[in-house]
Structure 1
Amino acid sequence: MSAGNSGRGTPDEPDDPFAYLYRPEGDAPPPQQTLRQPSYNQVRPVGERTFGGQQGYRQQQAPARPDARYAAPETQVGGRPPNGGGPHDRRRAPGPDQRRNGLLIGAIAVVLAVVLGVGAAILFSGGEENQGANDGESSAPTGNADDEQDGDDPTDPPADEETEAPDLPVADLTRLQFGNGAALESTFQNARSDTGAYIAVQGRPNATITWTFDFEGEPGQYYLYTGYSTITDGQAMGFSVNGTPRTDPVDMQDYSTASDAFDDSWVRTFNLVELVQGSNTVTLTCDRPCDVAIDQLWISDHEES
């Protein structure tokens, strides 16, 4: 209720302050006024209307029709909701182009799956065949004769694989030939032969030791090693290789000066010799002072320390 209003009914003064402007001339009585409509500031319950100044009845108001000027954009024809469409835009039914793209993608995926499946089947079946071949199953050769000639022979050893060198000969004292009193003995201790025996030639002029052996290596120059024991300097034996006498004897000096006994004076010496592939013969002869005992003979391809 606003100021100047006493509530329901009409105010004491007329509502029209400019009524004097259209009064009849000569102060004629004004025409009878009709009942006035309620004032704009008269309080009425919502939905209550008056007709002709009489209290009317309440009518159920019909729902207000939306005004196109104030309607939400999504309710107008061709309108779009704000912010790019929101979640409702994403849930809209796909158009014809989208359905065609989906079908095309699905078809491509099916073709790829079939191709991958066939490739996997071929790969695994090929692996099983190879496994069967490795297990001993025979298979037909592939490729032509020219290809096989150009390739390496599978039976040949790899080019970078070195062939193992044959074992070089080592004398078995029990198989040697002795002459002019040379013989196997075991009086002295610590001999390095397999049996602990040695060949005694001391005090036996022209005693001979002959070693015949097969050589499977490359022909050429090798080291002939002689193991011996002596307690006197200046001892030596002459020798020959394959029937050819050598001018350099087998020098047998007393290199073990720590002892004066044969038991503790075992040493070695070497001479360079020419060997041929196959059978070779080395002969040692006591043709000079040779107060020695020999316990080893062997061939080496290098100078041993």
Structure 2
Amino acid sequence: MTSGNNGASTPEDDDPFGYLYADGQANGAQPPSGGYGYPNAVNRVRAVGQRQYGQQPTAAAPQIPQQQGGYGQPNAHYAAPETHPGGATTVQQTSYSGGSGNGRGRGPNTKGLLIGAIAVVAAVVIGISVAMLGGDDDKGDSNNDAASTPTQSQSADSKPSSDSSAGAGKEELPKIDAKALRLDGGAATASDFKGAKADGGVYVTNFNQVGAKVTWSVSDIQKAGTYRLYVRYGIPGKDANATLLVNGTANNQPLNMENFGGTPEGDWEKGWKTTWANVNLNKGTNTVEIACNEGNQCDLVLDQLWVQ
């Protein structure tokens, strides 16, 4: 190369973008078709996404423009709506993910869960202990009751204190045997057949005639009121009845002496029964009469009378 001779090529011939200039075009520079600028270039460049390893060539995927600026930096191509005329004012909401100040997520409070579990176990243990102590106390009381025996101050046949207190205020009501009754109208006493509960087995007989009557003077009535008069009688296996009078006044209904149970007729020993009627007694002494009047069926014997 000599002065004034630039040689076979000029620097613009080496410029890969020489085809963009007039002098480059004049020297034969061409747009790249497989390399940079000139024929036989070995650097063959393809657009991004044109071909991937192991795949057939496909059309170039459209490139998505990337957001300019780093995270948290404003985008030069974006303007908030409120910066435009008539734009609406928006309120940015920040969601709370429960993370700590260092940006990491906050896990469950294992310490609190452990304390709660210990408290539950302690409560269950205390409850079981209380139940076991209470069960032992009950069992001990039952054993003491079962093994208790009368003491020196309490005999085995003594009545409970509750019964004694109730009996202290309870009225002792009168009772009388047949032979202690006043007899009128041909009534008499006898002890021919068995079964009477009166003293000596004595009962009132000869009662099956109009006018026959027994009278009981009932004394020591502590309080006026309605009482129940019981009469034990005997019949020969057939129904009977009599008139009941209290303090001279006859009851509306006859004293019923039916053949309850249907004992055989004529069998006096199996014919003992008990009947009752309500009577109004005054405080003090009252008169009770059982009479055989017209219309009564008086084939019977009388054993005992008592008030309840």
> TM-score scaled by structure 1?
0.44
Scaled by the length of structure 2, the TM-score of the pair is 0.43
